[in-house]
Amino acid sequence: MAIKSKQSAPAQQSTSYSNTKRRGAPACIDSRAVERYEDGMRVEYNLPKAVRGRYAGMFSSKMVRAVVLDEDVAKAYPTSKSVNRALRAYQKLQSEKLLRRRKAG
Encode the chain (105 residues) as per-residue pLDDT tens digits.
Answer: 566 555 555 544 444 444 455 555 555 555 467 787 777 778 777 777 888 887 777 766 566 778 899 999 999 999 989 999 999 999 999 999 888 888 886
Contact 36, 7 (CB under 8 A): yes
Q: What's the confidence (pLDDT) of residue 44?
A: 79
Q: What's the confidence (pLDDT) of residue 69?
A: 93
Burial of 61 (0-12, 13-18, 19+ CB in 10 A): exposed
This prediction's pTM: 0.40
